Amino acid sequence: MKRIFRNTWLDVRPFEKDLPTDQFYIRLCNRLKELCYRNTGLVSEFKELDEEDYDVLSCMAAAYFEDVVSGTGVFQTFVRICRQKCGKTLPFYHLEDYDEYLEDDINEPDLEFLIWYYMAMRFDYVVLPNDPCIATMAGIFFEELDAQWDYAPENQQLRDFYTFKDDPDDYFAVRTYMQKIFFSNYLTAPDASLTLDEEMEDAIEELAEQKADTAAAQALLSGHYDDLTYKIRNCLWGTTMTEWALAYVEDDSEIARNILTISPKLTGHFEVEDETENHYVLSRLSDHTEYRVLKKSLEANPLKTGVFVRISLIRWRGDWHWSGSLGIFPSFTEENIEDDRLLAEEQQEFLHKDFWKTAREAIDKQHDTFLNLFNKDLIFGTKAQILHQYREFLTACGADTAVVDRMEQETRLLDNDALLFFDEREGVNLAFGCNEAFCSVPCTRPKVRLEAFEHILFNPDCRIGLLERAVQEYVPQDEPLLDMIMELFREDFDFLVSFYKTDDILRRPDVTVTGFGQIL
Domains located in the chain, CATH noted: 6-159 (no CATH), 164-259 (no CATH), 266-351 (2.40.50), 355-504 (no CATH)
pLDDT, one tens digit per residue, over 446-496 is: 788 888 899 999 988 888 989 999 998 888 877 888 889 999 999 999 999
* Residue 482 near residue 73 (C-beta atoms within 8 A): no
Comparing CA positions, the residue from 445, 505, 453, 448 lying closest to residue 484 is 453
Q: Can you give the pLDDT at residue 513?
A: 34
pLDDT tens-digit profile, the chain (520 residues): 899 999 999 999 888 888 999 999 999 999 999 999 999 889 888 888 999 999 999 999 999 999 999 999 999 999 999 999 988 899 998 777 666 788 889 999 999 999 999 999 999 899 999 999 999 999 999 999 999 999 999 999 999 999 999 999 999 999 999 999 999 999 999 999 999 999 999 999 888 888 777 777 887 888 889 999 999 999 999 999 999 999 999 888 999 999 999 988 888 899 999 999 999 999 999 888 999 999 999 988 899 999 999 899 999 999 999 998 888 888 888 888 888 888 887 766 555 556 566 677 778 888 999 999 999 999 998 988 999 999 999 999 888 888 888 888 877 777 788 999 998 877 888 888 888 888 776 666 778 888 889 999 998 888 898 999 999 888 887 788 888 999 999 999 999 999 999 988 876 554 433 333 333 3
The Cα 123–Cα 150 span in angstroms is: 36
What one-character DSSP code corresponds to residue 302?
Answer: -
Give the number of other Cβ atoms within 10 Å of residue 53's Cβ.
15
Region for 178 from its dihedrals, namely left if φ exceeds 0, alpha if ψ lies in -120 to 50, beta otherwise: alpha
Exposure letters 262-299 (e unless 16+ CB within 10 A, then b):
beebbbbbbbbeebeeebbbbebbbeeeebebbbebbe
